[in-house]
Amino acid sequence: MNKWSGRAFAVFAGLALAITLGVSMAQPATGQVPYERIVAADSEPESWLTYSGNYASHRFSRLDQINAGNVADLRVVWAYQMDEGLIETTPIVADGVMYVTEPPSAVTALDARTGKRLWKWTPQMGSDVLHIGFPEVNRGVAILDSTLYVGTLDAHLVALDARSGAVRWDVEVADNAIGFALTLAPLALDGKIIVGVSGAEAGVRGFIDAYDPETGELVWRTYTIPAPGEFGSDTWGGNSWETGGGSTWLTGSYDPELDLLYWPIGNPAPDWNGDLRPGDNLYTDCLLALDPDTGEIVWWFQFTPHDTHDWDANQIQVLVDAEWEGEPRKLVVTANRNAFYYVLDRETGEFLHGTEYSKQTWAEGLDENGRPIVIPGTDPTEEGNLVWPSLQGAANWFSPSYSPMTRLFYQPTRIMGAIYYKAEVEYEPGQPFMGGGEQALRGEEASGAVKALDVLTGELVWEFPLQSPPWAGVMATAGNLVFGGSDEGNIFALNAETGEPLWNFQAGAAVRSGPMSYEIDGQQRIVNSAGGTMFVFGLPEDGRGPG
C-alpha cells in the first residue's frame, strides 16, 4: 500500500534548501486576506487561513476528493526539509502560497504547488535566548490582509509583508531575560492581533495581548493573575501572585456572532509545590471568555483549581452549535489535560457536562458545577507520589478535531502516569521556578490512542491504539477520514466513523505537528510533518481514484 520509505524525501525535486539569515528569493506571493475571508473560512476549503482552520477551531477540512475509498492511493507530492529542530507548526495556505514557521522562529513562504521556496525570514536572536520548561519551537503564523504575524522565542511579535517577507514592524512583547517567550500562532481578528506568552516555569505573570495590525501598538493587555484588590486576588496567598505563572501559550478560538474570544490559561507557578501559593490560584487552569475590543473578562471557568501537577488548560477550545436538552445551544467543548472532557455554554460559561475520557487517579469525579472532587493524598510529596495522568496530561497542545458530519470529537490521548515530587524553591528572575519534578512511567506502562468521543457526552465511540503517548494532532475531513501521526513516525488515515486504519506512511521520525489540508489546481493536498521534514500528500495525477 505504501511504496515510500522514510528516506524517500531526500530525492524529491521539490525539496527546498535552507538559507540561514534574513530574507531571500523574494517574489510576489499572496493577494489580500481580509477579516471577511477569515471569518468565512468554512466557505473557502481550498485555503487554510488560521492555525486551527477556522475561528471555531474545528480543524476540519470540507474537501472530500481524498476519501475513504481512495486514501490508500496517497503518495508524496513534495516535501520540505527545515534547517533545524522538530516541527510543531501548522502551515497556513492562501492564494497558492503556503506559510510555515521553522524552529525556533523563522518564517518561510512556499509555492503550494511545488514546494519551491519563495522567501525566508529569520529573526536575529542572540545565543542566550531563554526557553525554560519548553523546547525551541514555533507553532505558526497568522495572516491578515497582506501581512503575516509571528511570535519569536525572544518574546517579540513581528509583522512581515506576505509577498516578500520584509519586516513591517517589530515589537517586544515582554522581557525574555526573565523567561518570557512566544511560541504560539497568533490569532488575527478584525483590527487586532491576539497573542499569549510562554514562561510560567520561570515564574512570570502571564497575560494576553491585543495589538494594532497596522502599527504594532498595544491595544490592551489582560493579566491572567489578578493583582491585589482585583477579583480573584483572594485566591492567592501573600505575594505569590507576583510569580504566579498562568501563561497563555496556545492559540484561542473566537465566536464572531457573540464577539467573544476564548483563551486557555496555563498552570500556576511553582508547578508542583502548592504550599507556596495557597488558594484556587485564579485564573490559572482556566478558560477565559474575553471581550476582544477591551480584553475584559466576560466569564471564566476553572478546570483544575490549585493545580499541583502542571496540567494547565492550554488545550484547543472547540466551539460547537448543537441541541442541548432539546434547545439550540452555543457550546465550547474541550478534552482537558487533567483527563476530563468538558461541555460548557459559551455564552455564559455555565458547566453543562463533564466526564473522564482517560485514566486518572486524582479525582472521584466532577461536582454539579464542574469542580473536581479531589482524592486526598494525590498532591506531590517529597518522597514521590504516583498519579495519573503525567504532567504532560491526557491531552496537551496538540490539536483535536471536530467533524460536523459525524458529530464526533477526535482527541489524541496520552495514557501515562508519573511519580510527582515536591521541593522547596525560591524565585530568581530568569531561573526555573517549579518546586519539584516528576518521573513519568515508560515502556509498557505508557501508551496512547486516538479517541473518538460523542461531542455532547464525551462517551467513547471508538479508539485507535498507539504504541506510545502521542504528541501529534489530528484533522477530520469531509472525505470521512481522520488524519494523525505517532511518535513512531507513522502518518496515518482512519475511517472517521469506525476508526479503521486505511492508510499509513512511515516517515522515519516522530510526528509532532497538526495536519491540515488545502486544494491547488483542483487537487486536494494533505500536509503533515515528521522530525524536521514537512510532507505534502496527494492522489495520483491521473484521476481521483475510486470512491
Tell me if 268 sits within 8 A of 310, measured CB to CB: no
Tell me if 391 sits within 8 A of 380, measured CB to CB: no
Residue 242: exposure state from Cβ atoms within 10 A (0-12, 13-18, ≥19)? middle
Tell me if 9 sits within 8 A of 511, measured CB to CB: no
Q: How far apart are CA 23 and CA 121, in angstroms?
A: 4
Q: What is the DSSP string of 422-457?
A: E------TTS---SEEEEE--GGG-EEEEEEEETTT
Q: How far apart are CA 396 and CA 513, in angstroms?
A: 12
Tell me if 80 sits within 8 A of 113, measured CB to CB: no
Name the residues annotated as catalytic: 310
Closest among 518, 482, 522, 487 to 503, alpha carbons compared: 482
Backbone φ and ψ of 133, nearest 5°: 90, 5
Q: How far apart are CA 122 and CA 145, in angstroms?
A: 22
Cell of 500: 479503521
Q: What does DSSP say about strands 475-477 and 60-61: parallel, antiparallel, or unpaired?
A: parallel
